[in-house]
Structure 1
Amino acid sequence: MKLEQLVTFEAIVTTGTFRKAAERLNKSQSAISNAIRLLEDELELTLLSREAYRPKLTAEGEIFFRESSRVLAQMRELGATAARLRAREEPELCIAITATLSLQHLLPVLEEIDRRHPATHIRLLTEVMGGPIERLMEQRADIAIATLESVPLDEVETQRFAEVTIRPVASRRFAKRLGPGAKSMTAMQTFPQIVVSGTGGPENKQSRDLLPGGRKWTVSDFAAKKQVILSGQGWGGLPDHLMQDEIAAGTLETLVVEGFPPRHSEIFVLRRRDQAPGPVASALWSLLVAKGTETLAPR
C-alpha cells in the first residue's frame, strides 16, 4: 500500500468522480483508475462500486476511507512539521484580504510580525468577492481572510476571525428624494445600484445583494463606490467601518430596502492544508487566530 494510492482514493471520494480526481491530482483518468484497481487488488477488497455514474463507497470502503483519512491527516502534519524544521524565515508573505473587512483588525498583528521578523516583506492585497480565495488556491497568497463562500473546505483550514455588516445607504440628498419609510424593490429599481466588480475573474463578479431587474453601475473598489454614493448618483451597500464617520455626520443615511436587508457576514482566516507554512507564516497564523478569538469573545 502506497501513500499515493491513499491520496488518489481520497481525491475520488471527496470530488465524487474519477475525472475530477484526475484534474485535482493533475493525472490522467486512466492513471487514477489503475491506482485504485491496484489498491483494491492488494487489499482484496472492493472499495468503490462502479455500477452508477458516480463511484460510491462500499460498506468496506466507508470504513477504509475513515481510517485512511486519519492516516493522511497525520502524514500531512508530519510533512508540514518536517518542512517547518527545514525552513528558514520566508523572504516574503502574501496576505489576501476581503475589502469588506477593516484593516484595523489586522494591523496590530502585522505590527507584531514586523517586530519579530523584520526581514520578511509583507504583501497585503485587498480583494473583492472571490479574489482572496482564488489567490489562495492558486498559491498566489499564503493566507486569505474572507468569507467561506465558494471555499473548498476539504482543501482549506479555517478559523473565525471577525464579523462584518453591510448596509444599504444613500447620500442625504438622494435619501431626501426617496422620502421617508421603507422602499419597495420596484421603486429602487429605477435608481442606479452601485456595485463593486470582483477581483477573482468573471465567475466571481458581484452576485449577492443585487436587486433583480434594477439599474446598476459597476466600480472597481469600495473607495470609488463610496464616492459615487456620496455624490448622490446612486445607492448601494457599504460595510459599517467604511461609513461610520459619514453616518455620524449625516452625509450618508441608511435605507430600508425590500430585498436588501443588512447582511451580517462571518470572516475567516484561511490557509491551504497541503501547503506547509514556514516559520513566519506559522507565527502569523497563530497571531491571527488569537486575534480572532479576542475579537469574537462575548463582552
Structure 2
Amino acid sequence: MTLDQLNALDAIVATGTFRAAAERLNKAQSAVSHQIRKLEAELGFDLFSRDAYRPSLTSEGEVFFRETARVLEQVRGLRSVAAGLQSAQEPRISIAITATMSLDPILDVLGDIGRTYPGTHIQVATEMMGGPLARLMAGEADLIVAGLDGVPIDEVEALPVGTVTIRPVASRDFPASQRPGVKSRREMQSYTQVIVSGTGGREFDQSRDLLRGGQRWTVSDFEAKKSVIKAGLGWGGVPEHMMATELSNGTLVPLNVEGFPTRHTEIFAIRRRDQPVGKVMSQIWASLDAQSSSSH
C-alpha cells in the first residue's frame, strides 16, 4: 500500500471518474487504473463497482475510503509541519478577516506571534461579504477568517474560531418597530433595506438576505450601516457584537421579518492547501488549532 495509491483513490472519489482523476494527478489514466488494481489486489476486495459509467465505491470501499481520507489529512498536516520547520521566517503575513467578525478571538494569537517573530510584518485587512475568499483565492491573503459560504472545501484547510450572530434591526422610531409580530415581505418592501457592498468583486459577491423588490441603500461598512439604521433611514442585519449597547438601551430594536431570521454563522480560519507554509504561518495555524481544541 503506497501513498500514491491512496491519492489515486482520493482523486477518483473527488472527481467521479478515472479520467478526471488522472488529469487532477497529472498522470496517465492507465497509471491511475493500475494503482487501484494493485491496491485492490493487496486488500483482497474491490474498492469500486465498475458496472456503471461512473465508478462507485463498494460497501467495503466506502469504509476503506473513510480511513484513507483521515490518513491523507494527517499526511498533509505532517507536510505543513515539515515545511514550517525548514522554512525561513516570512517577511510578511497577510490576513483578511470578514467585517462581521470581532477581532478578539485571534488577537491573543497574533500578539504572541508578533512578540515571537518581530521581523515579520503582520498585515490584517477587514473585508466585506465575499472579500476574504476573493483575497485567498487570488493569492493576496495567506489566511482568512470567514464563513464557509462559497469556499471550495477540497482546496482549503479550516479551523473553527467562533460564531457570528447577525440580527435584523431598525431604530425604535422606525415604522416597522412600532408594532410586535412578524413583518411580511410585502410590508418590508415599502421600507429601505440598508446593505453593505462586498469587496470581493462580482464572482465572490454574496446576495443572501436581500429583499427583492424593495428599495436599498448601499454603504461601505457595518459601522456606516449601523449609523444609517440608527438614524431611522432604513433597516438591515447587523452583527450582534457591534450593537450590544444599542440593543440594551433600546436605540435599536430587533425585527422579526418573514424569510430573514436571526442568522448564526460559524466562522473559520481558512488557508489554501496548495500554498507553501512558512515558519510564522505554521505557528499561527498551530496556535489557532490549539485554541480551537481547548474551546470544544
Gaps of 5+ in 2: none
Following superposition, the deviation at residue 118 of structure 1 comes to 0.8
Farther-moved stretch of structure 1 (107-116 vs 128-137): 128-137
How has the CA–CA distance of structure 1 residues 220 and 18 changed in structure 2, closer, same or farther, with 3 Å as cutoff?
farther
TM-score, structure 2 as length reference: 0.81
For 2:227, the equivalent position in structure 1 comes to: 227
Report matched runs for 1:62-81 at 5 Å: 62=62, 65-66=65-66, 68-69=68-69, 72-81=72-81
Contact (CA 8 Å) 1:160, 1:293: kept in 2 or not?
no
Following superposition, the deviation at residue 190 of structure 1 comes to 1.3
How has the CA–CA distance of structure 1 residues 215 and 94 changed in structure 2, closer, same or farther, with 3 Å as cutoff?
same
Aligned residues: 291
Task: Tell me the C-alpha RMSD between the 2 structures.
Answer: 3.2
Following superposition, the deviation at residue 58 of structure 1 comes to 4.4
1:149-199: CA deviation from partner (whole Å, max 9, x where unpaired): 3334444333321121111112243x2465221222221111121222333
SS in 1 for 2:179: coil
Report matched runs for 1:127-146 at 5 Å: 127-146=127-146
TM-score, structure 1 as length reference: 0.80
For 2:180, the equivalent position in structure 1 comes to: 181
For 1:116, the equivalent position in structure 2 comes to: 116
Following superposition, the deviation at residue 135 of structure 1 comes to 3.2
Following superposition, the deviation at residue 76 of structure 1 comes to 2.9
Farther-moved stretch of structure 1 (115-124 vs 245-254): 245-254
User: Aligned pair 1:37/2:37, yes or no?
Assistant: no
Contact (CA 8 Å) 1:90, 1:280: kept in 2 or not?
yes
Following superposition, the deviation at residue 237 of structure 1 comes to 0.2
Following superposition, the deviation at residue 250 of structure 1 comes to 4.2
Contact (CA 8 Å) 1:95, 1:124: kept in 2 or not?
yes
Following superposition, the deviation at residue 140 of structure 1 comes to 3.1
1:214-236: CA deviation from partner (whole Å, max 9, x where unpaired): 33333333233223323332210
User: Aligned pair 1:91/2:87, yes or no?
Assistant: no
For 2:286, the equivalent position in structure 1 comes to: 286
For 1:11, the equivalent position in structure 2 comes to: 11
- Could you tell me which amino acid in structure 2 is paired with residue 35 of structure 1? A
Following superposition, the deviation at residue 34 of structure 1 comes to 3.2
Give the distance between the partners of 2:260 and 2:40, measured in 1 at CA. Answer: 57
User: Percent identity at matched positions?
Assistant: 54
Contact (CA 8 Å) 1:97, 1:146: kept in 2 or not?
yes
Gaps of 5+ in 1: none
1:15-73: CA deviation from partner (whole Å, max 9, x where unpaired): 33457646755x4xxx4523323324555756544543433234675466456545544
Give the distance between the partners of 1:53 and 1:199, measured in 2 at CA. Answer: 42
How has the CA–CA distance of structure 1 residues 190 and 42 changed in structure 2, closer, same or farther, with 3 Å as cutoff?
same
User: Aligned pair 1:241/2:237, yes or no?
Assistant: no
SS in 2 for 1:90: coil
SS in 1 for 2:123: strand
Give the distance between the partners of 1:5 and 1:202, measured in 2 at CA. Answer: 39
1:90-125: CA deviation from partner (whole Å, max 9, x where unpaired): 111121211111123332322221111111111212
